[in-house]
Structure 1
Amino acid sequence: MENKLHSHSFAGKTSNTEDHIHQYSGKTDETSDQIGHIHYIEGSTTLEEGHVHYYRIATSPAIYVNGGHYHVYMGNANFAKNHVQILAGDTSFYKKN
């Protein structure tokens, strides 16, 4: 079985903290498609209320379904303006060709 490097896209909105939300999006790091692999999502949120949040979060191990897989993630962005924001969601689906 070939274990090609691959990545996933992700996008979402943070938790509503201090009466505002941030948006975020990007691509995971690349890793080999092996059973139990994870990815990292990393980046910054949109500018809201005069600040941004930065994050680096590990995904869950791959969740296999319908001949492909995806990952879930949940974690905190960094502390800014006296609060943190929570990011949670699913990555895009990856299916080998």
Structure 2
Amino acid sequence: MEVPIQGYLVHSDNSDSSHSHKLYITSWDGRPVHTHHFSGHTSFDVGHNHYYAGVTEPAPSGVQHVHNYMTRTSFNDGHIHSISGTTGPAVPLPSGGHYHFFEGYTTVDGRVPHRHAYHGRTGNED
């Protein structure tokens, strides 16, 4: 199955030998797309917690959907964790727009290997 997408590619002008590109999708199968900001803090484990913030991957607007997300936590107690997953379905807001619930566990990291739980809800669609 082919799904037509539109967007633009941004080239990073790093001065070293590596470089990267970011693809910003502006439409999916003819529909506009949107993202959501999310942030929060993890559970308190092994004497500390972490903060995180990010933006979900784009998803089509106007249809039921979910978003993938990925970010890294703040640097606390000498380490960071990665967070990734898929949100729940869209929850309509009375004033328009919608949000998504998300939850999961971080990667296992730290001097004393451990992970943290996290959960929250995204902001309204961007």
- Fold similarity call, TM over 0.5: yes
Letter in 2 for 1:10: F
Q: TM-score normalised to the size of structure 1? A: 0.89
**Residue matched to 1:94:** 125
Q: CA deviation at 1:76?
A: 0.6
What SS is found at the alignment partner of 1:47? coil
Q: Distance in 2 between matches of 1:85 and 1:35?
A: 33
Equivalent position amino acid for 2:73 in 1: T
Say how many residue pairs are matched.
94
Q: Secondary structure at the match of 2:75?
A: coil
- RMSD of Structure 2 on Structure 1 (CA): 1.5
The answer for the alignment partner of 1:65 in structure 2 is 93
Larger radius of gyration: 2
1:7 aligns with 2:38: no
Percent of matched pairs sharing the same residue:
31
Please say if residues 11 and 26 of structure 1, whose CA atoms lie closer than 8 Å, have aligned partners that are also in contact: yes
* Equivalent-residue separation in structure 1 for 2:118 and 2:32 (angstroms): 28
Residue 45 of structure 2 is matched in structure 1 by 17
Matches within 5 A, 1:9-88: 9-66=37-94, 67-81=96-110, 82-88=113-119
Stretches of 4+ moved more than 6 A in 1?
A: none
| Residue type at the aligned position of 2:85 | I
**5+ residue gaps in structure 1?**
none
CA drift of 1:94 comes to: 2.3
Q: Aligned partners of 1:76 and 1:34: how far apart in 2?
A: 30
Structure 1 distance, partners of 2:101, 2:32, is 20
- Secondary structure of the corresponding residue to residue 26 of structure 1: strand
Larger RCO: 1 or 2 (CA < 8 Å, sep 6+): 1
